[in-house]
Amino acid sequence: MTEIPQLVQSFSRNNEDLREWTERVFTDLLSDSEFRWLFCNTLSYMEHIGSYKIMATQQGDVIDYPTLKHLNEETGHAVLFKRHAERFKGSGLDYAESLLIAPAYARAYFSRLEVSMVRYFGRDSNYRTIYLYMSLIVEFRAVWAYEILAGCIEKAGLDFSLTKLLAEEQGHLNSMVRRLEEDGQFSREQVEYFWERERWLYVRLLKAIEKSRSAENFNYVGKQETVSEAYSAA
Ligand SMILES: [Fe+2]
Ligand SMILES: [Fe+2]
């Protein structure tokens, strides 16, 4: 049986050089009343993309109890961040591009990772395996980044708990490893291959968010980078 804590430690070690930068960007976003709600709305959007992807690829007769529970919890995370985004903003918010930070990069984070998996496993591959790997790789980042975010929220003295969300993300990570093992599909080599890909996409996303934060590059009413810009930024 795969030792999940050891996997999480390896992921942490591989990303140690990104920790301080991530903490700095999160702290900076939370410190600005305008960016605080934009950031929460963007996290909500990313959770929504995650939940939508589960629905789009696992719908119908293939959907089982753990998948439904996963879908329900990811939707709940989108709701949680949306609730706080609206609380910080003081009004209702949708996912219009102007109400998000670097949305094209957020979308590309998921779609490029998914494309790399479809390429790796082949066009005729099992959608369940891709769903399980997609979720697993994203969960490593989610657990890592939300632990950092929870620390930043606490330091900023904001009334916003990530305890339940973090427990659920950790639960998803465990569930994906176990389900891949049950299917005979878990491979440490494959995980490491996708970690590398994901890390590159995360760095692109964080850079884009950081760039948006700098005053000369970001005007939340007007600034919208396009998907093609995000794709050509590689
Ligand atoms: Fe989530
Ligand atoms: Fe999750």
The pLDDT tens digits for 8-59 are 999 999 999 999 999 999 999 999 999 999 999 999 999 999 999 999 999 8
Domain that holds residue 19: 4-214
Packing angle of the helix pair 33-58, 127-156 (nearest 10 deg): 160
**Percentage above 90 pLDDT, the chain:** 85
Task: Please indicate, yes or no, if residue 222 is contained in any of the structural domains.
Answer: no
Q: Which residue has the higher pLDDT, 229 or 32?
A: 32
Q: Find the 26 Cα to ligand 2 centroid distance in Å.
A: 20
pLDDT value for 228: 43
pTM: 0.91
Asked whether residue 223 is assigned to any structural domain, the reply reads no
Measure the CA–CA gap between 149 and 17, rounded to whole angstroms: 16
Ligand number with the minimum distance to the CA of 149: 1
Q: How far, in Å, from the CA of 54 to the mean position of ligand 2?
A: 11
What's the pLDDT tens digit per position in 200-210? 999 999 999 99
pLDDT recorded at residue 88: 97
Ligand 1: centre distance to CA 47 (Å): 5
Please write the tens of the pLDDT for every residue from 142-197.
999 999 999 999 999 999 999 999 999 999 999 999 999 999 999 999 999 999 99
Q: How far apart are CA 218 and CA 97, in angstroms?
A: 13
What tokens were used for 209? 């968010």
The number of distinct structural domains making up the chain is: 1
CA R_g for the chain:
17
- Tell me what pLDDT residue 226 has: 42
Please report the sign of the dihedral spanned by the C-alpha atoms of residue 52, residue 209, residue 142, residue 162.
negative
Quote the pLDDT of residue 221.
41
pLDDT of residue 122: 87
- In this structure, is residue 111 part of a structural domain? yes
**Centre of ligand 1 from the C-alpha of residue 56, in Å:** 16
Task: Assess whether pLDDT exceeds 90 at residue 225.
Answer: no
**Which of 151, 138, 22 lies closest to 74, judged by CA?**
138
How many A from CA of 50 to the centre of ligand 1?
Answer: 7
Task: Calculate how far, in angstroms, residue 122's C-alpha sits from the geometric centre of ligand 1.
Answer: 27
pLDDT in tens, 71-114: 999 999 999 999 999 999 999 999 999 999 999 999 999 999 99
In the block, tokens 């591989």 appear at 14
**pLDDT given for residue 234 in this prediction:** 36
pLDDT of 217 strictly over 70:
no
- Output the CA 216–ligand 1 centroid distance in Å: 32
Per-residue pLDDT, 1: 72
94 inside domain: yes
The pLDDT of residue 215 is 54
CA of 213 to the centre of ligand 1 (A): 24
In a domain, 198, yes or no: yes
